[in-house]
Amino acid sequence: MEALIEQRRLTRFLFLMHLYRVTGGKFKDYFGDAEVIAGIEKDQTGITRQEIESAIEYLEGRRLIRYSANRQVRFEQAGVDEIEAKVAHPERPTTEFPTVINIAYIDKMYGSQFQQGTTNSDQTIHVPTAPTENRNRSTAGGVNRPKTLRKMVAVLGWRLNDDEAAISLSDMLPTFERLEKLTSQSRSFLCGVLERSEPRDMHSNRSEALAVEIEAHLGMNRRQIAEQVAVLEKYNLAFMDADEGTVKIIVASPAPWNVLDALKSFCTAASLPIHSVIGKPDFTLLD
């Protein structure tokens, strides 16, 4: 039974990886499922169509992907975050993939990837090379990057040892990288949204704010807000969502947890303007 469970998890992982290859890690845009499924069937001859369909149903139920009646599939932000977190750190458990997966980057997928007849064993999966942005993230250098998170850990009362703090810092690097790529205008807009946003729940990597409230807070009209959100969406940092007629701005951290809200909480607790950390940006203040 345990071997069957692991095989199902690996099928889900492979589907997400092939979808990531097809979409380039973008979410909100639909793609036909044919290319994704064909890629899996070509490279993973041991996986049946029924197993792939089961994986799709599960992933949609977990809100990692969205699947339409006409067989169009798209990533949800949580799906992108899940697969990027696992590829960046294969040895670390994630919500959906608790098993250690040794991932070898190669330019073309090949061979059967499943280990047979064992349980609680590491699995090796060959997956497509991730985009440059997502590789070697822990070694990417930034002139204003923290080294320890010592101040942030102390201010927020996190009970972390040095190794745990280092893991948290590694989780935060993709967020730092994307913030650094934004213009000062886009970072300023994001700061304004964060000031009025609230986390969706304690287990989510997302926060949300009412668009009408952001209009009043920043003195912007809906068109201007939509233009700014479109820039953030390019970097998978935010998007707009209409829930029963209520338009919300969803801010999403490219990490397994809500890094952006943690930065906001740090600034509040340390009596720092959020612009001083995110707007400049200057992440050395976290040390």
Q: Pick the more confident residue, 203 or 160.
A: 160
Together in a domain, 59 and 172: no
**pLDDT band, very low/low/confident/very high, at 99 (cuts 50, 70, 90):** low
pLDDT of residue 122: 47
Together in a domain, 102 and 63: yes
Sign of CA dihedral 31, 32, 35, 38: positive
Together in a domain, 124 and 163: no
Together in a domain, 86 and 223: no
| 67 CB-near residues (< 8 Å, 6+ apart) | 33, 56, 60, 73
Q: Pick the more confident residue, 73 or 23.
A: 73
Q: How many domains does the chain have?
A: 2
Report the largest interatomic distance among the alpha carbons of the chain, rounded to a whole angstrom. 62
Q: Is 143 helix (H, G, I), strand (E, B) or coil?
A: coil
Q: Pick the more confident residue, 246 or 101.
A: 246
pLDDT of residue 253: 86
Q: State the Cα–Cα distance between residues 263 and 146, nearest whole angstrom.
A: 13
Average pLDDT over residues 19-36: 76
Together in a domain, 177 and 269: yes
Domain around 21:
2-134
Which amino acid does the sequence have at 226?
A: A
Together in a domain, 143 and 281: yes
Q: What is the pLDDT of residues 213-255, one digit of tens each?
A: 999 999 999 999 999 999 998 888 998 988 777 999 999 887 7
Together in a domain, 80 and 123: yes
**Boundary (domain end) residue, out of 106, 134, 162:** 134
**Boundary (domain end) residue, out of 116, 134, 152:** 134
Q: Is 89 helix (H, G, I), strand (E, B) or coil?
A: coil
Distances (CA, A) of 250 to 30, 126, 194, 241, 260: 19, 33, 10, 7, 12
**Of all residues in the chain, what percent carry a pLDDT higher than 90?**
34
Together in a domain, 115 and 196: no
Together in a domain, 68 and 114: yes
**Boundary (domain end) residue, out of 134, 152, 176:** 134
| 160 CB-near residues (< 8 Å, 6+ apart) | 153, 168
* Cα angle 6-138-178, degrees, rounded to a multiple of 5: 100
CATH value at residue 159: 1.10.10
Q: Which of 32-36, 60-64, 96-100, 190-194 has the lowest mean pLDDT?
A: 96-100
